[in-house]
Amino acid sequence: MAAVTTSTERSLNKLAIVGVLIVTIIFLAPIYWIASTAFKPRNLATTIPPTVVFQPEISPFVKLFTKRSQLRTAPTPEQYAAAPWWERLVFDGGEKVVRSGRGEVQWSGYPSRFMNSLIVAITSTILAVGMGTFTAYGFSRFKIKGEQDLLFFILSTRMLPPVVVAIPMFLMYRAVGLNDTHWGLIILYTAFNLSFSVWLMKGFMDEIPKEYEEAALVDGYTRMEAFFKIVLPEAATGIAATAVFCFITAWNEYAFALIMTNRRAQTAPPFIPSQVGSGLPDWTVIAAGTFLFLLPVAIFTFLLRNHLLRGMSFGAIRK
């Protein structure tokens, strides 16, 4: 009987491993597809059946960062030889780099949009996590009249999808002059992430024993000193987990960024789909922009991976 049970357990373990591998492949396949397309020649991006083995090249990234136009006449051998190596890659694709009257290279808008995404996402994440931590601490440690109603009201701000309130917010922002500004998006993303931050941080705060602060108060600490020196270090894993989710939400947001911005404060998500070549969409350029756009989130999540794992399991073992 024991041998049968052991055999059954082994079979179930093997099935579980196979299931995990299948799910992993399904989730990683789009990422691989984007990364591979970003290094493909343009003529191999849409082949049927798809081209899996190819010679990688970086011309899509060169095209992503430069303005280009259709090459009407082939460059002379002298022009081709005098051009920088990266400009020759554009020549090989049947296009040329647009230059100003003084011969300066005209760069695309992707670097500025990428920087806008960094500014908006980082600032809104810091504000949302900071205010959410203070708010969650207040709800966790003090008796507040109508606490459950207030928490439900905070949560209700996430019940409507962004596209529903985008038009009213656009009209309001245009009236007060916040349209197409960094602070406009920062305020919007902070408000959108604040409810998530409050609810998630409250769960972490509830798991920190109040006795720690009471001991600190007995030793002469003020309430604020006890918060910064006792509570915050204990809640570091929760803060890290909350910051990751808030950053991902602000970084990937598309609807508000598309409607609320035009050029000056536009972020990368609405800009990447606009990167089309001459005539037909250049999917390699779009994939290159998407690949670079994925890197900050991947790096940020990787750096906080240990805190994230502990934060998600924080409070699983109760007293």
135-144: long-range contacts at Cβ-Cβ below 8 A with a sequence spacing of 24 or more?
A: 135/194, 135/198, 135/201, 136/197, 136/198, 136/199, 136/200, 136/201, 136/202, 136/204, 136/205, 137/201, 137/205, 137/227, 137/231, 139/198, 139/202, 139/205, 140/202, 140/205, 140/206, 141/205, 141/210, 141/213
Show the domain range for 257.
109-315
Instruction: Give per-residue pLDDT as tens, 68-104.
Output: 877 777 777 887 887 888 888 888 777 888 887 777 8
pTM: 0.84
Count of structural domains within the chain: 2
Q: Is 311 found in the same domain as 174?
A: yes
Q: Is 227 found in the same domain as 261?
A: yes
Q: Is 301 found in the same domain as 288?
A: yes
Instruction: Give per-residue pLDDT as tens, 215-233.
Output: 888 888 888 888 888 888 8
Is 287 domain-assigned?
yes
Q: What is the CATH number of the domain that holds 121?
A: 1.10.3720.10
Is 8 domain-assigned?
no
Q: Is 273 found in the same domain as 151?
A: yes
Q: Is 193 found in the same domain as 223?
A: yes
Instruction: Give per-residue pLDDT as tens, 106-143.
Output: 888 899 999 999 999 999 999 999 999 999 998 988 88
Cβ of 238: how many Cβ atoms within 10 Å?
26
